[in-house]
Amino acid sequence: MAAIDIDKISGLTKPLIQRIPKTARGIDLHKRIGDLIEDADI
């Protein structure tokens, strides 16, 4: 169940991440999303 959720999250966030501009705030968002995905991917 967790794996399915992670797949959904990855599938939804990848296009969004690509749209986030590489501003300071965007980079912070990239780091947070990356940390969340890493923490969830056990």
Domain boundaries, the chain: 2-40
Question: How far is CA 5 from its chain centroid?
Answer: 12
Cα gap 4→24, rounded to integer Å: 31
Share of the chain above pLDDT 70, in %: 79
The tens digit of pLDDT for each residue in 2-18 reads 566 767 777 777 777 77
Q: What number is the average pLDDT over the span 18-34?
A: 77
Cα gap 18→22, rounded to integer Å: 9
Q: Residue 36 pLDDT > 60, yes or no?
A: yes
Q: How many CB atoms lie within 10 A of CB 39?
A: 8
29: closest CA among 42, 1, 37, 11? 37
Q: Output the pTM of the full model.
A: 0.38
Coil vs helix vs strand at 22: coil
